[in-house]
Amino acid sequence: MDRFEARKAIVKALDEAGVLIKVEPMVHSVGHSERTGVQVEPRLSTQWFVKMKPLAEAAIKNQQGDDKVNFVPERFEHTFLQWMENIHDWVISRQLWWGHQIPAWYNKQTGELYVGVDAPEDAENWEQDTDVLDTWFSSALWPFSTMGWPDTDAPDYKRYYPTNTLVTGYDIIPFWVSRMIFQGLKFTNQRPFEHTLIHGLIRDEQGRKMSKSLGNGIDPMEVIDKYGADALRWFLATGSTPGQDTRFSYTQMDAAWNFINKIWNMSRFVMMNLGDTKPDQTPDQSTFDLSDRWMFARLNATVETVTALFDKFEFGEAGRALYNFIWNEFADWYIEMSKEVLTGDDEVAKANKRINLAYGLDQILRLMHPIMPFVTEKLWQAMPHTGDSLVTAAYPEVHPEYVDDAAVSEMESIISLIRAVRNIRADVNAPLSSPIDIVVKLQDESLAPIFKENFDFVDRFVHAKSFDMGTSVNEPDMAASAVISGATVYVPLAELIDLDAEIAKLTKEAGKLEQEISRIDKKLGNQGFMAKAPEAVVAEQREKKADYEAKLSATTDRIAQLKAAK
């Protein structure tokens, strides 16, 4: 009978037998199947169990030794241990049509039970249990069963087991991660993997979990069709923090696509200007100009930083370091400065610059390849190279000979000067096409040779009509100004400048500088900070304070001059 009809029949039979006391409506929670919506009925049945206490104890003990499984982030080890410490025997049998069938047989005549790896010899007298293993039992065998186990001399087993890193979500630590760990220890006496990197869930733009009922699911294939696989990989790899949920965002997908487009266009420019450059030509440091020294130093630092962050699974921070170097430094500054040489008449300088550009681009593509394999492979194949594929090319290494703190400092001064002039142009609506007078009053005399020797680079970005520089130059009265480290930059634009607006802007800037000085004073006055902070950190804060104080002094002096000019 149908169960609902059977219930009515039972009630009727009880009533007719005179044993029904009463019928009383009750409101309570009834479980329903998540797939079919049908009410779930509890039923007693015989199931197979795994006794968990000894397995859990072994897993807990292993986490106290040197061969523990390292959870990233570390806090998720608590989730694992809490599950092991409060474990119950595990029901491993399932009444499904697929899966590993339970290795148990029943004798058709005697009812005897046999459990073993192989079926009984007289198979016709035995019937195998129709239940299958819980899917988590089967998948927990994966790390070693795929390597040739139980043959521990199998080449793959000897080479790859234990594996290095498992990447998975926090929601299946109890179901999958824990079971792989205790089964690995049980069957191989080793941890199944050294690290387990825990990621969060991908939620919708409102922070909701994606589900069929809400209809807010995102089909990754549709995203790939629109943006490409590399853009999605970049978003997923760099847009999240280990263990934290991530909101899917089309805005961020647009940004990822724009970044790839930047890499593509940047690479096309480099390749269009490589001429007859041969693959793997070694850059000659003796020919480096300041922009070369700076680029190689920053590339070297980026390789070191990104590699260290990759090793710590901090892909978001690694992505930010890559983005900053590729877009803000290599593309926006180094390539633009290289144009000054590439459009010049010195053929030897051109050849050296091409080698340096090719080397920089090659290293960038290698760094990006783990996250953006398709675009980087396409570009690498199109440029001079040796080897069949970027995926088998050597990963970039740190080269101590490229470390050049002086070049980085000098280049930062040049960039600050260029940005200051550009900002002034923007503030007074002076187009780049119109040449302007530039006056630089130096507080730091060491900047003079830097600006003088690299004026061609500076002029490419600022379009100077004249460039007056020194410690005692006359400060123009009617001019826009900006304070940089070690100097004050003036652009005489009397007919365009609004004195009141310029004073207001500088007053606002002075307020920001005062806040920074106050913030550092509080930090340096904090006994706890001074006691715990390394000397280098304290020295860095003091240097920042001195720089801010110098900028504040120059800014207040300029405000006074402008007020006097009114």
What is the C-alpha separation between 35 and 324, in angstroms, rounded?
Answer: 47
Tokens encoding 173: 């630590």
Q: What is the dihedral of CA 110, 111, 112, 118, to 10 degrees?
A: 110
What is the C-alpha separation between 174 and 192, in angstroms, rounded?
Answer: 15
Edge-to-edge strand order for the sheet containing 104-107? Answer: 113-115, 104-107, 126-128
- Separation of CA 462 from chain center: 35
pLDDT band of 286, cuts 50, 70, 90? very high
169 DSSP assignment: E
Write out the CATH class of domain 224-403. mainly alpha
What is the C-alpha separation between 119 and 104, in angstroms, rounded?
Answer: 8
Alpha-carbon distances of 427 from 430, 511, 560, rounded to whole Å:
8, 19, 20
Tokens encoding 324: 């900053």
What is the pTM for the complete model shown? 0.77
Quick one: pLDDT at residue 494?
62
What is the C-alpha separation between 284 and 352, in angstroms, rounded?
Answer: 7
Q: Once rounded to an integer, what is the mean pLDDT over residues 163-174?
A: 92
CB 372 within 8 A of CB 233: yes
38-42, 104-108, 209-213, 472-476 — most confident range: 104-108
Residue 375: how many other CB atoms lie within 10 Å: 22
Listed residue (274, 414, 458) closest to 356, CA to CA: 274
Q: Are strands 436-442 and 246-247 parallel, antiparallel or unpaired?
A: unpaired
Residue 234 reports pLDDT greater than 90: yes
What are the pLDDT digits (tens) for 115-158?
998 999 888 899 999 999 999 999 999 999 999 999 999 999 99
Quick one: pLDDT at residue 204?
85
Residue 373 reports pLDDT greater than 70: yes
User: For 289-326, b where at least 16 C-beta lie within 10 A, e where not — what string?
Assistant: bbbbbbbbbbbbbbbbbbbebbeebbbbbbbebbeebb
Those residues whose C-beta lies under 8 Å from the C-beta of residue 547, and which sit 6 or more positions away, are: 485
Residue 495 reports pLDDT greater than 60: no
Q: Once rounded to an integer, what is the mean pLDDT over residues 499-509?
A: 84
Q: Once rounded to an integer, what is the mean pLDDT over residues 465-489?
A: 86
Q: Which residue has the tokens 């079971």?
A: 179
Alpha-carbon distances of 367 from 16, 255, 297, rounded to whole Å:
82, 19, 16
Task: Write out the DSSP string of 314-328.
Answer: -HHHHHHHHHIIIII
Quick one: pLDDT at residue 557?
84
Half-sphere exposure of 204 (CA within 13 A, CB side): 12
Task: Write out the DSSP string of 441-494.
Answer: EESSTTHHHHHHHTHHHHHHHH-EEEEEEESSPPPPSSEEEEEETTEEEEEE-T
Q: Which residue has the higher pLDDT, 244 or 93?
A: 93
Q: Which residue has the higher pLDDT, 304 or 494?
A: 304
Quick one: pLDDT at residue 205?
87
Residue 352 reports pLDDT greater than 90: yes
Quick one: pLDDT at residue 502?
77
Quick one: pLDDT at residue 566?
64
What is the C-alpha separation between 143 and 176, in angstroms, rounded?
Answer: 11
Quick one: pLDDT at residue 55?
96
Q: Once rounded to an integer, what is the mean pLDDT over residues 517-543?
A: 88
Those residues whose C-beta lies under 8 Å from the C-beta of residue 327, and which sit 6 or more positions away, are: 259, 262
Backbone angles phi, psi at 551, to 5 degrees: -65, -40
Quick one: pLDDT at residue 479?
79
Q: Once rounded to an integer, what is the mean pLDDT over residues 101-122?
A: 92
Residue 246 reports pLDDT greater than 80: yes
What sign does the dihedral 275-284-454-305 (CA atoms) show? positive
Give kind and range of the element (H or E) at residue 412: helix 405-427
Q: Is 69 helix (H, G, I), strand (E, B) or coil?
A: coil
- Domain spans of the chain, in order of start: 224-403, 436-565
Q: Is 554 helix (H, G, I), strand (E, B) or coil?
A: helix
What is the C-alpha separation between 532 and 288, in angstroms, rounded?
Answer: 41
Residue 492 reports pLDDT greater than 90: no
Mean pLDDT for the chain overall: 91
Residue 496 reports pLDDT greater than 60: no
Quick one: pLDDT at residue 367?
96
Kindly report whether the peptide bond that precedes residue 534 is cis, defined as omega within 30 degrees of 0.
Answer: no
Q: Is 248 helix (H, G, I), strand (E, B) or coil?
A: coil
What are the pLDDT digits (tens) for 391-433?
999 999 999 999 999 999 999 999 999 999 988 888 776 777 7
Q: Once rounded to an integer, what is the mean pLDDT over residues 59-88?
A: 94
Quick one: pLDDT at residue 70?
96
What sign does the dihedral 426-431-433-436 (CA atoms) show? negative
What is the C-alpha separation between 398 and 306, in angstroms, rounded?
Answer: 11
pLDDT band of 447, cuts 50, 70, 90? very high
What is the C-alpha separation between 23 and 11, in angstroms, rounded?
Answer: 9
